[in-house]
Amino acid sequence: MPSAREPKTDPKKRKRLSSAERREEFIAKAIEFFAQEGFESSTRELARRLGVTQPLLYRYFPSKEDLIAEVYKVVYVNRWRDEWDAMIADRSQPIRERMTAFYHSYTDVVFRADWMRIFLFSGLKGVDINQRYLRRVRERILDPIVRECRFEAGFPDLTPSAAEIEYAWVLHGGIYYYGVRRLIYESAELDNKSFVIESSLDAFLMEIAKLRGPG
């Protein structure tokens, strides 16, 4: 079927590509499926939605567990954008602008039903991938943000304090929870991501400035 659709190329490559594409098709559908139904749902139902029989899945993945591992990998690893580092570190812009731009980009990625539901499902299953992900958020987002705030405030020591990191987590959590309310519980008051980002940022920057002011 795919060879009929596609223009002719090197036979070997075409075949391999077709196989790889089918595999990717399976993974893509698995993401959608498991995000909707949870990881305890059956491979038979997934196969049904793919329009293939269930044993075919085992031609591409040794076990259901391996398929799920692929799902994690694509959602968590492949959707992470390396340019976020640069966005936060770009000192030609004030930190507020950088954070605004970053959180718009970040929420474009994570404010998606499949991302959020898979994150929640895997977190409840106790998969270590969640803790690894949060560590990554801490190290590559929150930590740099606090350091840039310190830099902009003229501090010689950029090392974040535990309190500053906790402020950053409250900021991050407030924004994230807005996504949860919208995409999981469908109960957000405002359909306005920008408003939430801007006001959360306001609050964070005020808090973190106050931390320095009186002390």
Partner DNA sequence: ATATCTATTTATCACTCGATAAAGACCGGC
Partner DNA sequence: GCCGGTCTTTATCGAGTGATAAATAGATAT
Instruction: Tell me: does residue 213 bind a second copy (CB under 8 A).
Output: no
Q: Residue 23 or 181: which CB sits closer to a second copy?
A: 181
Give the one residue of 177, 212, 213, 214 binding a second copy; rule: CB under 8 A: 177
Tokens of 78: 């492949």
Q: How far apart are CA 164 and CA 211, in angstroms?
A: 8
Tokens at 196, concatenated: 């939430």
Site for a second copy in 36-95 (CB under 8 A): 38, 40
What whole-number distance in Å separates Cα of residue 133 and Cα of residue 138?
Answer: 9
- Count CB atoms within 10 A of the CB of residue 101: 16
What 8-state DSSP symbol labels residue 214?
A: -
Residue 112 interacting entry, from a second copy, DNA, none, C-beta within 5 to 8 Å by type: none
Structure-block tokens of residue 62: 């040794």
Among 56, 86, 190, 206, interactor with DNA by CB under 7 A:
56
Amino acid at the residue 80: W
Report 58-97 residues binding DNA (CB under 7 A).
58-59, 62-65
Residue 83 makes CB contacts below 8 A (sequence gap 6+) with 105
CA dihedral 120, 203, 92, 159 (to 10 degrees): -70
Query: Among residue numbers 104 through 133, which ones bind a second copy (CB under 8 A)?
Result: 117, 120-121, 123-125, 130-131
Question: Among 21, 36, 55, 97, which residue sits at the site for DNA (rule: CB under 7 A)?
Answer: 55
Site for DNA in 2-41 (CB under 7 A): 3-4, 11-12, 14-15, 19, 22, 41
Distances in Å between the Cα of 113 and the Cα atoms of 39, 46, 155 are 15, 18, 40
- The one-letter amino acid code at 37 reads E
Question: Which of the listed partners (a second copy, DNA, none) does 44 bind, with a CB threshold of 5 to 8 Å by partner kind?
Answer: DNA
Distance in angstroms (rounded) separating the CA atoms of residues 164 and 11:
58
Binding residues for a second copy, rule: CB under 8 A, are: 38, 40, 117, 120-121, 123-125, 130-131, 134-135, 138, 162-163, 165-167, 169-178, 180-181, 184-190, 192, 195-196, 199-200, 202-204, 206-207, 210
Binding residues for DNA, rule: CB under 7 A, are: 1, 3-4, 11-12, 14-15, 19, 22, 41-45, 51-56, 58-59, 62-65
